[in-house]
Chains A and B, each alone.
Chain A
Amino acid sequence: MTDRDSSAESPADRSFEIELKLLIDAIYLKYHYDFREYAGASLKRRLLAALERFDCATLSQLQDRLLHDTEVFPQLLDYLTVQVSEMFRDPDYFLALRQTVIPMLRTYPSLKIWVAGCSTGEEVYSFAILLREEGLLDRTLIYATDINTNALARAAAGVYSVDRIAGFTDNHRRSGARNSLSDYYTAAYGRAMFDKSLRKNIVFSDHSLATDSVFAEVQLVSCRNVLIYFNRELQDRALGLFSDALCRKGFLGLGSKESLRFSRHADAFADLVREQRLFQKQDFAA
């Protein structure tokens, strides 16, 4: 029988943990990106993959390159942050938005929506299309934020490989679509470019949930499958920003397996559509 506290890690692995901490500190000190409160297990996996990608034997080697070759960091940032999503991912989420949230949003003369951690933009265009179909896009401003400026540039371009369109189309149809997805893009040379008019009311902006503060009052925050990469402290920070940004009775949408149950902000929100992780800000919330 082994005593829990004597469970010695193998020496090689302890070095990895030390190097990981040093690398994350180096990134913070040199580039001001803060991964110190990211969930450890996923971060470790991504860094192990990055070692292969950058052909480094150790994280110390990677750190050396990061500090002395400024072209390496943007590539590593893609590795650490870019999430490949789909348009209308989890169609039932968008269906629930149409059925439950949109009728209440209609009562506002003008709307602001924050898509936090928008990565390459699939969810932002999903919102723009949904709002156009519901007749609300013209009076809505969508803030699309991410820490990765490369991803934001790709989001702003609104161009996706046509290989992905079949999946997007199926999701869109299942989200309660009123039109065909093909109404919103033109396809050429293997790429689908989404209609410029969709992004007329989208502001793409560099924002960190780890280090920046609230920038506007909004009626809806959608932040899906972003918080899973944070530890509890950073989740609490992000949820605090959402709570502060939301207007009275504002709405919050999370990823399908994300929960407020383990957060200190749990009491600030009430379930709206439990299955789809749609919440509404409570009155008198702390």
Chain B
Amino acid sequence: MSAADFDAIVIGTSAGGIEALSRLLPALPAALHASVLIVLHLPRDRPSLLADLFAPQCALAVCEAEDKEPLQPGTVYFAPPDYHLLVDRERDGSVVLALSSDELVHYSRPSIDVLFESAADAYGPRLLGIVLTGGNQDGAAGLAAVHREGGRCIVQSPDEAQAAYMPEAALRRGHADEVLTLAQIAERLSRL
């Protein structure tokens, strides 16, 4: 796993996710080539403060995704509340962010599966998928799609996850190339 391997990193998490991301995102290097897309389950009826919360901790630009925004390298995008976040390839081959208000998946909008499956289609083997702490099975099918399309899959060790259900479901139904602690994931990310 080296810096040139990935065009995008997708991360999915719910319960305990803010704390986990606080340990991972500051590890991302300023010169990162990949785009980072994150689904963190949140209440659907309030604006999200995630971008404001994480921007000061990160060497990279951090923002909330907007529809049809061309993906920039070295930028962290959070899915907005109450929308699914997807990636689409436009006619000219460029990759853009796309949103949808289609039905909830695993009681969630945004859903990790929706992001991971569309990213797997768009990026194939150039994708790194990471499933972290969380209290439902969202992300398991998505991680399976990342693996099916040749991407690399990391799951947080359920033993240390604040909520073990999500990483356990990902290991059961999805696929993991590595099961790692947050400290180990952060160390991997810092070398990208």
Interface pick from B20-28, B98-106, B167-175: B98-106
**Could you tell me if B102 and A257 are in contact, using CB atoms closer than 8 angstroms?**
no
Query: Which of B2, B68, B96 interacts with A1 by CB under 8 Å?
Result: B2
CA distance A45 to B87 in the complex (A): 12
Query: Least Cβ distance of A166 to chain B in Å?
Result: 13
| Bound-complex Cα distance A44 to B102 (A) | 12
For B123, the chain A residues whose CB sits under 8 A away are 7
Residues on the A chain within 8 Å of B64, using CB: 257
> Which residue from A40, A83, A258 sits with its C-beta under 8 Å from B88?
A40
Residue B138 interfacial (CB < 8 Å) = no
Do the beta carbons of B70 and A262 come within 8 Å of each other? yes
Give the nearest-CB partner of A225 in chain B: B101
In the assembled complex, the CB of A38 is this many whole angstroms from the nearest CB of chain B, namely: 10
Stretch at the interface among A96-104, A138-146, A230-238: A230-238
* Cβ of A57 under 8 Å from chain B: no
Partner of A231, one of B83, B91, B102: B91
Q: A9-B124, A232-B90, A263-B68 are in contact. List 4 more A-B contacts (CB 8 A).
A: A229-B100, A232-B91, A255-B67, A258-B67
Interface residues of A (CB under 8 A from B): 1-2, 4, 7-10, 13, 39-42, 44-46, 83-85, 225, 227-229, 231-233, 235, 255-259, 261-263
4 residue pairs, one from A and one from B, having the closest CB atoms: A41-B118, A41-B86, A7-B124, A262-B68
A sample of 7 inter-chain contacts (CB < 8 A) reads A42-B84, A45-B118, A232-B96, A235-B68, A256-B80, A261-B66, A263-B68
